[in-house]
Chain A
Amino acid sequence: MVIAIGFEGSANKLGIGIVKDGEVLSNPRHTYITPPGQGFLPKDTAKHHREHALSVLKAALEEANVKPEEIDVVCYTKGPGMGAPLVSTALVARTVAQLWKKPIVAVNHCIGHIEMGRLITGAKNPTVLYVSGGNTQVIAYSDRYYRIFGETIDIAVGNCLDRFARVLKLSNDPSPGYNIEQLAKKGKQYLEMPYVVKGMDVSFSGLLSYIEEKAPKLIASGAYTPEDLCFSLQETVFAMLIEITERAMAHCDSNEVLIVGGVGCNKRLQEMMGIMAGERGATLYATDERFCIDNGAMIAQAGWEMFKSGVVTPLKETTCTQRFRTDEVKVTWRS
Chain B
Amino acid sequence: MSITEANCLSAELNVPFPSAYEAGVAYGSLSVDKEPKRGNVTRELHVEGNVLHVRFQAKEARTIRVSINSFMDHLKLVCETIAEFGPVR
Interface residues of A (CB under 8 A from B): 46-47, 50, 53-54, 58, 68, 83, 87-88, 90-92, 94-96, 98-100, 315-320
Contact = CB atoms under 8 A, between A and B. Distances in A.
Contacts of A91: 29-30, 74, 77-78, 81
B81 A95 contact: yes
Given A83-B36, A95-B29, 17 more contacts: A50-B73, A50-B76, A53-B77, A53-B81, A54-B84, A90-B33, A91-B29, A91-B81, A94-B28, A94-B29, A94-B32, A95-B26, A95-B81, A98-B25, A99-B25, A99-B86, A316-B32
23 contacts: A46-B73, A47-B73, A50-B76, A54-B80, A54-B81, A54-B84, A58-B84, A68-B85, A90-B33, A91-B30, A91-B77, A95-B26, A95-B28, A95-B81, A95-B82, A98-B28, A99-B82, A99-B85, A315-B28, A316-B32, A318-B32, A319-B32, A320-B33
Interface of B: 25-26, 28-30, 32-34, 36, 73-74, 76-78, 80-82, 84-86
A318 B28 CA distance: 10
Contacts of B76: 50
Nearest to A320: B33
Contacts of A98: 25, 28-29
Given A54-B84, A94-B28, A98-B28, A88 B33 contact: no
Contacts of B84: 54, 58
Contact of B85 (A46, A100, A317, A318): A100
A94 B36 CA distance: 20
A265 B36 CA distance: 36
Nearest to A49: B77
A94 B69 CA distance: 20
B34 A95 contact: no
A181 to B, nearest CB: 35
Contacts of A58: 84
Contacts of B80: 54
Contact of B78 (A46, A68, A95, A100): A95
Q: Which of B25, B33, B80, B82 has the most CB of A within 10 A?
A: B33
A87 B81 contact: no
A90 B28 CA distance: 12
A50 B80 CA distance: 10
A90 B32 CA distance: 10
Contacts of A47: 73
A162 to B, nearest CB: 26
Contacts of B86: 99
A92 B77 contact: yes
Nearest to B86: A99
A88 B77 contact: yes
B45 to A, nearest CB: 12
